[in-house]
């Protein structure tokens, strides 16, 4: 999967694709049309209304302000600006008001949240609005796609190697990935949490504008090709029954319910793969409590689509 730096969106004509010099000249097909990748320069943003950035933090930090100063409105998929003051961190179904007043061609930067944060908050925010979330405990089961095309290819290769009794190739991760799980590969921080876990904590507080909400996360890499899964426990300010929670979720935009207890049928990563919506199930009262102030959920969402690309395009659409 090629991670292009920016896409110039002209809603009346055609997009242009930019990347660094090593990708210039490559051909990319989109909806039956072949485009040639252009080399990114500081002059690339002249006359551009919206740019979608997805090339890593260092490139975003350098070229995002340049694009904004040129009047181009930037939607950035890296972590470069997520926690920056004055930069909206947006999930369109959750907090579109954060980017109120921003328009295409008027400059400014909008940050796309981390994929795990987006998938969690698509499910949890409707409940937060209904009953108020005091504390959220999340365990994620994250697919290879979150680490890029090379990780997906290594998982496929290792699976073949294990089944054929061969030593596994380990280039992307230091651990065997096939038939194994391990702690998320992001760097560890001093408090014992990795950066992925802390992103969920900090980003949720910013998106909800609630610095006091209690959040803890454990992020795990699992040998699934695409779509993340998350187990979520909620402590609520006001009581909410299972039935009320399902009703709230069934009305939430971008959420699909798979919650058939009789058939033991709940969301799976395969259900969510290549789908726009986030899937929610296993909705149940937290029986460790004696009241209706606790809920458990299981959530699956496509990390590439709603967890990244789709969310960025939805932000771009709000700019028009």
Q: Among all residues, which ones are annotated catalytic?
A: 115, 228
Task: Tokens 């369109």: give the residue.
Answer: 92
Angle at 257 between CA 254 and CA 258, to 5 degrees: 140
* Burial profile 280-317: b = 16 or more Cβ within 10 angstroms, e = fewer: bbbbebbeeeeebbbbbbbbbbbbbbbbbbbbbbbbbe
Q: Give the 3-state secondary structure of residue 193.
A: coil
Pairing of strands 27-30, 33-36: antiparallel
CA–CA distance, 81 with 83 (Å, rounded to integer): 6
Q: How big is the chain by its Cα radius of gyration, in Å?
A: 20
First-to-final CA distance of the chain: 28
CB atoms within 10 A of CB 83: 14
Task: Tokens 């695409």: give the residue.
Answer: 226
Task: Decide: 318 and 100 in contact? Cβ < 8 Å.
Answer: no
């Amino acid at each position: 999967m090629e991670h292009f730096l920016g896409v110039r969106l002209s809603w009346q004509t055609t997009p242009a694709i930019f990347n660094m010099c090593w990708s210039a000249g490559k051909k990319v097909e989109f909806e039956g049309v072949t485009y040639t990748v252009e080399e990114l320069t500081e002059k690339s943003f002249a006359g551009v209304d919206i740019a979608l950035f997805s090339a890593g933090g260092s490139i975003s930090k350098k070229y995002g302000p340049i694009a904004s100063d040129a009047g181009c409105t930037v939607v950035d998929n890296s972590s470069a600006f997520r926690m920056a003051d004055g930069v909206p961190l947006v999930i369109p179904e959750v907090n579109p008001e954060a980017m109120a007043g921003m328009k295409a061609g008027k400059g400014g930067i909008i940050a796309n949240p981390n994929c795990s944060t987006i998938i969690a908050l698509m499910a949890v925010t409707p409940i937060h609005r209904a009953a108020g979330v005091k504390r959220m405990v999340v365990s994620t089961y994250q697919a290879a796609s979150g680490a890029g095309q090379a990780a997906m290819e290594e998982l496929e290769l290792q699976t073949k190697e294990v089944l054929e009794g061969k030593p596994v190739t380990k280039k992307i991760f230091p651990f065997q990935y096939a038939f194994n799980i391990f702690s998320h590969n992001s760097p560890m921080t001093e408090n014992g949490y990795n950066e992925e876990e802390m992103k969920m904590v900090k980003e949720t507080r910013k998106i909800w504008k609630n610095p006091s909400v209690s959040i803890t996360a454990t992020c795990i890499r699992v040998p699934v090709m695409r779509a993340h899964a998350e187990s979520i426990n909620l402590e609520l300010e006001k009581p909410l029954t299972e039935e009320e929670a399902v009703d709230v979720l069934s009305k939430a935009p971008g959420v699909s319910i798979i919650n058939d207890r009789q058939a033991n049928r709940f969301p799976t990563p395969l259900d969510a793969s290549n789908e726009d919506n986030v899937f929610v199930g296993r909705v149940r009262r937290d029986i460790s409590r004696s009241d209706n102030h606790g809920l458990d959920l299981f959530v699956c969402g496509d990390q590439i689509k709603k967890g990244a690309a789709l969310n960025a395009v939805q932000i771009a659409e709000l700019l028009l």
